[in-house]
Amino acid sequence: MLDLNDVAVFVHVVRYGSFAEAARRLGIPPNTLSRRVQQLEAQLGTRLMQRSTRKLSLTSAGQDFHDRCADAVEGLVDAGQALMSGNEAPSGLVRVAAPADFFDFFPMEWLVDFLAQHPQVRVDFVLSDASADLIADRIDVAIRGGVLEDSSLIARRVLDAGLDGLVASPAYIAARGTPATLQDLAAHDCLVFAHPSGRATWQLSAQDGSDAEVQVAGRLSGNTVQVLRKAALAGLGIALLPSTMTRRELRAGLLVPVLPQFTRKGHGVHLVYASRRHLPSAVSAFIELVAARLGDFQDLPMKTPGTPA
């Protein structure tokens, strides 16, 4: 008779993509997991997976076996977790990948409240504008804006896409004038994402729904939206920014709209994680924190010159 514990180990190793990651998630030494899978292969009389130092891949028999038993194993685990969840307080480490400027729009006070509510939880932030590999980098949840390319991940939108619009500071407009057409932008300093050429193409939509694009360039570029936003506030040029990041400055007069008849659809902010199932309670609690806090805001709570913190 098959040892169902060995079957469960096999399913978890497949789900997490490696013995090392499964061992981290399950709290079991990797060599123990490897031995359990070898025992299962011996009982079945067939090889289930090919192993290498970097990754593993299923054999055809392994794929068929996994497809047949994965749902049953996950159902048993879900049933057990459902019974235990009422008595289990969130605990353990949550590793979070976020943009380098994350705490410019996520007040640290929110994290203080979260940790006070969950004294057994620890949070480790990996701040970088590079897109983290959730499995390889051992990330529990990532906060991402823009287009999501990996369809195998679970993505939960926490901030609506809205529209991107052109803005500049009153000082810049006073010094350089207001562009009347898109073509006029060629004569202006535009704040763009870093590129060796120093140029960028802005693809926009007009009020009548037609598409338009314009080649722009400027003396300052950067690799984060926050850099471009701060440069616009400092009067260094015209920027194309998400409306959720500029509404406050527009209302306060720190920025003014430029060619408001042209906009670009934004992409919003998402929480991204590897699987809906078997999320540790600490990870689930953190996800709910970010979703609730950012979901309450139409404007990101930025600190800007001349406005209260």
For residue 177, the domain's CATH number is 3.40.190.290
Of the listed ranges 21-25, 59-63, 172-176, 209-213, the one predicted with least confidence: 21-25
Q: Which of 34, 52, 87 is the last residue of a domain?
A: 87
In a domain, 307, yes or no: no
In a domain, 19, yes or no: yes
**pLDDT over 70 percentage in the chain:** 85
- 110 shares its domain with 121: yes
- Per-position DSSP letters for 105-169, written without gaps between them: HS-HHHHHHHHHH-TTEEEEEEE-SSPP-TTTTT-SEEEEES----TTSEEEEEE---EEEEEE-
- 145 shares its domain with 188: no
How much is the pLDDT for 306?
A: 37
How much is the pLDDT for 173?
A: 97
Q: pLDDT averaged over the chain?
A: 83
CATH code assigned at 66: 1.10.10.10
- 75 shares its domain with 41: yes
How much is the pLDDT for 303?
A: 43
pLDDT at 280 over 70: yes
pLDDT at 282 over 50: yes
In a domain, 305, yes or no: no
How much is the pLDDT for 22?
A: 84
How much is the pLDDT for 14?
A: 87
- 157 shares its domain with 169: no
- 182 shares its domain with 46: no
Between 197 and 12, the more confident residue is: 12
Q: Which of 87, 114, 133 is the last residue of a domain?
A: 87
In a domain, 300, yes or no: no
Taking only the tens place, the pLDDT of each residue in 188-208 is 999 998 777 778 899 999 988
For 26, the 3-state DSSP assignment is helix
- 258 shares its domain with 167: yes
Q: What is the DSSP letter of 306?
A: T
pLDDT at 170 over 80: yes
Side chain identity, residue 180? A
**pLDDT over 90 percentage in the chain:** 34
- 9 shares its domain with 130: no
In a domain, 36, yes or no: yes
- 52 shares its domain with 191: no
CA atoms 21, 24, 25, 26: torsion sign: positive
Quickly count: other Cβ atoms within 10 Å of residue 123's Cβ. Answer: 16
Summarize the confidence of residues 261-287 as an average pLDDT: 83
Q: For the chain, list the strands marked E by DSSP.
A: 49-51, 56-58, 92-98, 121-127, 141-145, 154-159, 163-168, 190-193, 199-206, 211-217, 221-222, 238-242, 256-257, 262-265, 269-273
- 149 shares its domain with 168: no
- 227 shares its domain with 281: no
- 37 shares its domain with 183: no
How much is the pLDDT for 257?
A: 95
d(CA 95, CA 122): 9
Show the tokens assigned to 48: 């289930």
Summarize the confidence of residues 38-43 as an average pLDDT: 90
In a domain, 132, yes or no: yes
Summarize the confidence of residues 207-218 as an average pLDDT: 90
pLDDT at 222 over 80: yes
pTM tops 0.85, yes or no: no
Of the listed ranges 134-148, 188-202, 256-270, the one predicted with least confidence: 134-148
How much is the pLDDT for 167?
A: 97
pLDDT at 307 over 50: no
CATH code assigned at 120: 3.40.190.10
Summarize the confidence of residues 148-168 as an average pLDDT: 77
- Expressed as residue numbers, the domain containing 173 is 163-265
d(CA 105, CA 297): 11
Summarize the confidence of residues 15-19 as an average pLDDT: 83
How much is the pLDDT for 298?
A: 52
Domain count, the chain: 3
Summarize the confidence of residues 102-113 as an average pLDDT: 88
In a domain, 39, yes or no: yes
- 41 shares its domain with 182: no
In a domain, 43, yes or no: yes
Contact by Cβ (8 Å): 204, 211: yes
d(CA 97, CA 91): 19
Side chain identity, residue 111? L
Q: Which of 87, 115, 144 is the last residue of a domain?
A: 87
Show the tokens assigned to 151: 């369809």
